[in-house]
Structure 1
């Protein structure tokens, strides 16, 4: 009797792409829920628009490229791209902002390179940076935490603003939006105020911006779960947060009236989201153990440089894309030693 034999490995692995993507999306839930709680329904409106657009664009591109649609969509990568993009967008962005960003992320940054596994840049961050550079006004429509808001929009009112651009009678956009804590510090430092004076305001909490610190704690919790499950490796988050912390500590120690504390930088903006959910993208990030650490440290340093001296309040997206460019070189010079070579 003839038996058919198959090549190794004979044990099926547990790292399925779809399972990994769904795990990452599940881990983002604490931060997402806290963002909705503090900043309103716009967070969920952006989520629905970005995720549905990403899935639709991916399906259309797969059909055009004559690739299997159902199987590829089942890996969850398009939905995760939409989720990460939505979490980076201001809650009061008009409807076409998440739609346009999602289209650019999937069509240009992902599918035109060949799809998942071939894109050299993080698609969600490409879409975000295109929006940030092209539509700076719409990308500053951030909501204040609900306790600090002059007016709180309901779901219906949020949809009316997002889809139609209409607000309740007597309510202006300035009444429902405000600058982020990072933007506030950058602007008011330029007016000659000290950090002590700036952070005495109600929009600042114990660790970072009020509301923002809780959202970052949510993403820290989800990131810890990803590390515990082995979904991501520790080097990139540790390098990212360590590089950001050390840079902030050095300048804070030199001049605490001009440079914010390390804890403020860690728990404001997109620090935790970037460290655990964006920078750890398995396709566009470094793949060697030492390379992942170098990659993470580079992102953390660049984030601080952009926050402190750049033209934008936060720098996670730019830092990630800049380090994406350096990944081939980083991986080349950080290859682990092969057993039997190098004098072993």
Structure 2
């Protein structure tokens, strides 16, 4: 799929499907939907399901390509996951899409007991993870990873961009056991193609080296971490960036190797500072006995406001200027 370029216009948040791409940034359209359709061409076991959200989770691309393998379950998330479990029991490989808030809050028990406990290959695709919509707490999944991290057998993937998503889909299909993919949908930025990067399930990757600061990030915050690293060059601050697309199982070895030494360590995530990447990294640091301070950049432990995404990202510290200011303040 060839990346396109977004129109050079003011970034908007009009509804659920607002893009977080910067004006003029290189993007790819519906990378999840296209990747799933490509994977299904070579594996007839792959099926797609959604809870009345095909258009808003890019599942409609798969539905158009394979209508006989697509199942519209309606606004019934528990039914969605129960049906996916039954399909997996017969040997199929379901990808089931809904919004992250509904998968985590409404259907947790069905995912836990119907899918995770028997370790079935069901792939949950959650739209609007973290702060990727301006619709407020009913649709902002700011605590989804915190909810899911304690579930045995469940793999959690928080992709940065279209490259991550396109490469993750076939690997998730081929992997045993259930997964939860924090979906970036619509016009998704293409970032990692400039860093000699390849997605590997369960692996973190060092995208750039730096002597002063180490930014450990996941999801769309890896894009912001890379942008902040470049901006900090103007302040004579040399920044390393470590991308951790798989939150569970976590690649502690790669991350801890980068955190050794006296550089400032900062985590960046589009998620609450409770229960997500920050606490995953902090736990690994303590367990390894590093005695290292880790500074979190993430969403507050609160229900967030509604509004335009650029405004909200600035308000809650996810924008590049806020990241730069935080790092400079920590460096003193």
Q: Identify the TM-score tier after normalising by the shorter chain.
A: under 0.3
Select the structure that is richer in helix: 1
Q: Compute the TM-score of the two structures, normalised by the length of structure 2.
A: 0.27
Q: Larger Rg: 1 or 2?
A: 1
